[in-house]
Amino acid sequence: MTLNVDAAIRFSWFALALVWFVGAAFTKQTVRTQPAGARLFQMAVFLLGFFLMGSDWFDRGWLGWRYIPASYPVQLAALVATVAGCLFAIWARLTLGSNWSGRATVKHGHELIVKGPYSLSRHPIYTGLLVASVGTSLAGGEWRCILGFATVVLGFILKMSQEERLMIETFPEAYPQYRRRVKAILPGLL
């Protein structure tokens, strides 16, 4: 991986994290949340997945073997996917506004957001993060990145199940209709 692509990918993730940290100060008060044990397990899964993708600690043995050559076209595709995914996740985060939380929650005065990226996907933040993770995994090009991506997918599946349950409880009429109209992750597919 060339230094410029690596730096641009890291900057994309940094920009996303900055939006998350600044935005966290402007969220509504939490009314209900997922169980603490479920939250801790999800966080452990996410940390492992992102650490596998972004750290060289696991590049030993078969985890460090390349599954794809580090060519310029591959690196460019990886960069485009990472930047596009991060930008989509940021757009979704900003659209969600003060309803956002890092864990599955219901906020005081919670609103069902169905506009912008939420008209394309019920979980557009996850869509963006998954696209960015595909790009980052492609840039790394090692089997540890594939394993990390699969681990991140597992984390999102776990978290989405908690969020879906809370949204159905909070919006018993509107959310099932929204679920029928809009796919969870990929428009028209999943």
Task: Give a yes or no: residue 7 inside a domain.
Answer: yes
Task: Give a yes or no: residue 115 inside a domain.
Answer: yes
Task: Give a yes or no: residue 160 inside a domain.
Answer: yes
What's the mean pLDDT when you consider all of the chain?
90
Domain that holds residue 56: 3-19+26-175
Q: Give the helix/strand (H/E) hosting 12.
A: helix 3-24
Task: Give a yes or no: residue 73 inside a domain.
Answer: yes
Number of folded domains that form the chain:
1
Task: Give a yes or no: residue 180 inside a domain.
Answer: no
Task: Give a yes or no: residue 128 inside a domain.
Answer: yes
Tokens of 119: 């008209």
**pLDDT tens readout for residues 99-117:** 898 888 888 989 999 999 9
> Which CATH number goes with the domain that contains 89?
1.20.120.1630
**pLDDT tens readout for residues 136-183:** 999 988 899 999 999 999 999 999 999 999 999 999 999 999 999 999
Does this model's pTM top 0.95? My answer is no
CA angle 67, 69, 71 (to 5 degrees): 150
- In the chain, helix, strand, coil percent, each to 5? 70, 5, 25
> In sequence order, which residues have a C-beta less than 8 Å from that of residue 143 and are 6 or more positions away?
62, 63, 64, 65, 67
**pLDDT tens readout for residues 58-102:** 777 878 778 888 788 899 999 999 999 999 999 999 999 998 988
Buried b (16+ CB within 10 A) or exposed e, 164-178: bebbeebbeeebeeb
Q: For helices 124-140 and 72-96, what crossing angle results, to 10°?
A: 160
**CA–CA separation, 13 and 129 (whole Å):** 9
Task: Give a yes or no: residue 37 inside a domain.
Answer: yes
CA angle 7, 83, 145 (to 5 degrees): 70
CA angle 62, 149, 147 (to 5 degrees): 25
Shortest CA distance to 27 belongs to which of 88, 91, 93?
A: 93
Task: Give a yes or no: residue 183 inside a domain.
Answer: no
